[in-house]
Amino acid sequence: MFPLISAHITHKEAPMQDLGRLGDVDPQALLSSLRALPRIDECALLKTCNRVEFYVVSEDQVQAREGLERLVASLLPYDREGGLVRFMTGRGSMHHLLRVSCGLESLIVGEDQIQSQVKECYDLCMRQGCIGKVLGTVFRKAISTGKRVRTETRLNKGNVSVGSAAVDMAEARLGDLQGRTVLVIGAGQMATLIAKHLLGKGPQAVFVSNRTYARAMELAWCLNGKAVRFEQLQDYLARADVVLCATSAKHIVLGPQEVGEAMRIREGRPMFIIDVSFPRNVAEEVRSLPGVEMCDLSGLNGVARENLERRRSEILEAEAIIKEELQLLTARLEEMRAAELLRSVHSKYQDIKLREVQKAMNRLRSGEESERVLEDLAGALVSRFLADPTAAVKMASRCGDSHLLRTTRELFALEEHHVPSGKDEKD
């Protein structure tokens, strides 16, 4: 088994409120906590709106598991930890990461954003000096496998992002977006994805608001919409039939007071709010306001199930590629482990050789007979080289460890020698 262990808190087990709580935690702070665990040789953190995953390499799997459990327990309420976390080891951890990078573990199967998030995770951990040979190999394979799946299959074709799902849900609720007024709050990556799917839907007006006005102007220009300064958000909120909230803020942006005032001005006209922010930016109390229908990431499950059904054949193709790449990754790591073992063996016996040769040189300089010195050197080298294997074989013999005895015979390429009995000999 590879010395790899991982812990996973994802949308499949954890409610969005728990994931949202983790969303408040700074990734670098989480990575520092992970790195500080005892007996950790390498570590990595993958944090997105739908998952927080920890990967560690440690020769002490028991202590690494205990450390991960303590770290997870410090992040989740004591009464919510059970059942929310999956632990994996070795090949299972690697298989999972490859699936994540390919989009098979995403809420919207096949979405592209996760691959760049895996790459960002890898880059951050490399800058922090947390990733070594093992995790470096695993993450590079995950990234390349994600690229291969997207090149060789149609898994990511069509509407396969949280942004597209949000727009689809708005259309499903309202019939279509023709003639509607849409307010997009945020101008980052997620908001841009949503904007991409708004194009061609025919809304009457699109407003984009962001704390950085220049960013809002850029996105509004792409949508042929209007940028709104964040201080003016309340005025335009009252005009919106659909509000798509997708910011990186760590706090509530829209509360019941702001939305309630907007609904008073709307005089009963309904408002549909979709909050795809992580953590949540629209207060839960907004959901109970008359005339307001609200959906967050957890509400996209229906769209996710439909997307899953449509992509059954592509998923099978992707899984075949993942299986092949996992075998290649496993073989590569086995080669690396063997190479590291051989380097250690060569280094150990090189040190023994240097010490014994130095002793022999000193004896020759003192005038001792060279033949005797060489004979003693050869005997000392054989004795030192075989000291540890000899002790191990004796212990195996005493403990009845026949497996080690067979392995020793294979390792030293010893053939079975049978002494012929007298009746088989010919005169």
Sheet with 292-296: strands ordered across: 226-229, 205-210, 181-185, 242-245, 271-275, 292-296
Tally the C-alpha atoms within 13 A of residue 36's C-alpha that lie toward its C-beta: 8
Query: What are the backbone dihedrals phi and psi of residue 54, each rounded to the nearest 5 degrees, phi first?
Result: -115, 135
Rg (CA), the chain: 31
Which residue in 150, 137, 110 sits closest to 55, CA to CA?
137
Question: Among the options 43, 49, 121, 295, which is catalytic?
Answer: 49
For residues 124-160, one letter each, b for 16 or more C-beta atoms within 10 angstroms of the residue's C-beta and e for the rest, the string is bbeeeebbeebbebbbebbbebbebbbeebebbeebb
CB 42 within 8 A of CB 56: yes
CB 64 within 8 A of CB 40: yes
Distance of alpha carbon 40 from alpha carbon 60, whole angstroms: 8
For residues 168-201, one letter each, b for 16 or more C-beta atoms within 10 angstroms of the residue's C-beta and e for the rest, the string is bbbbeebeebeebbbbbbbbeebbbbbbebbeeb
The secondary structure element, H or E, covering residue 329 is helix 312-365
Q: Which residue has the tokens 């060789």?
A: 152
Distance of alpha carbon 185 from alpha carbon 30, whole angstroms: 28
For residue 413, what are the CA distances in angstroms to 395, 402, 406, 408, 410? 20, 16, 11, 8, 5
DSSP 182: E
Which residue in 273, 247, 248, 246 sits closest to 258, CA to CA?
273
For residue 273, what are the CA distances in angstroms to 81, 166, 245, 372? 30, 10, 8, 92
Q: Is 125 designated active site?
A: no
Token readout for 249 is 């803020």
Q: What is the DSSP string of 109-141?
A: TT-SHHHHHHHHHHHHHHHTT---HHHHHHHHH
Q: Which residue has the tokens 């592509």?
A: 314
CB 74 within 8 A of CB 81: no
CB 240 within 8 A of CB 170: no
Active-site positions read 49
